[in-house]
């Protein structure tokens, strides 16, 4: 019997690449995203595509019901759907902060709740949560995004212990710099939120950095290959840092005390100078 995988956020980037890799590995793959039209290329390969919003509970229930009705099992859930909404904590509206938690954390948690009864009945399964090296570090203007990734990893760690007696693995993927829509979307939201006012100087500088990071970074397929390996390994690791700079960030946070790391960020981004300049010019 073919194993069955569900991949969210599959309309582009890491999610689309992961759906293809798992399909090539012999899985029956259900690719899920809000934009069904963006998954036409996946459908042409024989991947089953479903349009669903990760924050729409009835849609998630219908998704899992359909997979069970058609395939009778779920072996792997890849919680990849997510986005980055950047801006100073003071500037970001709480409705936007809540939405980021709904997408990045609660949507993944709800899908876990829905698939786990079937995985427990099978006595096996794997939940692969796509986090970020942003769960290991921090930077100004990314407070709400980093908070969601810290939360997702904490949830995953607890879930891993709860599910171990049931034969279910919980695995965290921690991408570093990956060529997706993330830098552009994050940069645009950053400028819209904090491009004017008290944090404008740094917001503009960091937005330029985000756009420049979109060049010369790892392909989404690098992450997809790692996810496929985690889905098929006999004994998968609990965490997989992957992509440009991921391992370096993990090592730096392990070695450097917080205040040293703070000074490093100030040095790299010129934060204090830029904020002072912004104040002096009004």
Between 1.10.760.10, 3.40.50.720, 2.70.50.60, 1.10.132.20, what CATH number should domain 4-180+216-256 receive?
3.40.50.720
State residue 273's pLDDT score: 42
Distance separating alpha carbons of residues 129 and 270, to the nearest angstrom: 33
| 199 is annotated as an active-site residue | no
**CA distance readout (Å), 268 to 74, 191, 205, 218, 274:** 45, 20, 11, 21, 12
pLDDT at 275: 40
Catalytic residue among 11, 85, 131, 194: 131
- Residue 145 annotated among the catalytic residues of the structure: yes
pLDDT of amino acid 277: 38
pLDDT reported for residue 244:
78
- The active-site residue, picked from 30, 145, 199, 202, is 145
Alpha carbon dihedral 252, 146, 7, 241, in 10-degree steps, equals: 0
Please tell me the pTM assigned to this model: 0.89
Residues lower than pLDDT 50 in the chain:
272-282
**Active site (annotated) includes residue 149:** yes
pLDDT at 155: 98
Q: Where are the alpha helices (DSSP H) in 72-181?
A: 94-101, 107-122, 143-163
Instruction: Spot the catalytic one: 11, 30, 132, 149.
Output: 149
Strands of 28-33's sheet, edge to edge? 48-51, 28-33, 4-8, 76-79, 125-130, 168-175, 239-242
């Amino acid at each position: 019997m073919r194993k069955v995988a569900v991949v969210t956020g599959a309309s582009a980037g890491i999610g689309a690449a992961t759906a293809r890799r798992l399909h090539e590995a012999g899985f029956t793959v259900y690719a899920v995203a809000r934009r069904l039209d963006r998954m036409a290329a996946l459908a042409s390969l024989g991947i089953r595509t479903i349009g669903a919003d990760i924050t729409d509970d009835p849609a998630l229930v219908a998704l899992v019901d359909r997979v069970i009705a058609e395939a009778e099992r779920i072996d792997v859930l890849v919680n990849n759907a997510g986005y980055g909404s950047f801006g100073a904590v003071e500037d970001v509206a709480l409705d936007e902060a809540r939405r980021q938690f709904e997408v990045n954390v609660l949507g993944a948690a709800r899908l876990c709740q829905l698939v786990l009864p079937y995985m427990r009945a099978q006595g096996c399964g794997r939940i692969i949560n796509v986090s970020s090296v942003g769960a290991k570090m921090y930077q100004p203007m990314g407070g709400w995004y980093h908070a969601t990734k810290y939360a997702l990893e904490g949830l995953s760690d607890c879930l891993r212990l709860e599910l171990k007696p049931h034969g279910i693995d919980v695995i965290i993927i921690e991408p570093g710099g990956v060529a997706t829509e993330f830098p552009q979307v994050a940069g645009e939201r950053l400028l819209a939120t904090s491009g004017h006012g008290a944090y404008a100087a740094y917001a503009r500088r960091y937005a330029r950095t985000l756009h420049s990071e979109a060049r010369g970074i790892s392909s989404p397929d690098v992450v997809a290959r790692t996810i496929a390996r985690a889905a098929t390994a006999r004994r998968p690791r609990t965490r997989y840092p992957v992509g440009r700079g991921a391992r370096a960030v993990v090592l730096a946070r392990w070695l450097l005390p917080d205040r040293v790391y703070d000074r490093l960020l100030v040095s790299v981004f010129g934060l204090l100078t830029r904020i002072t300049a912004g104040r002096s010019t009004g």
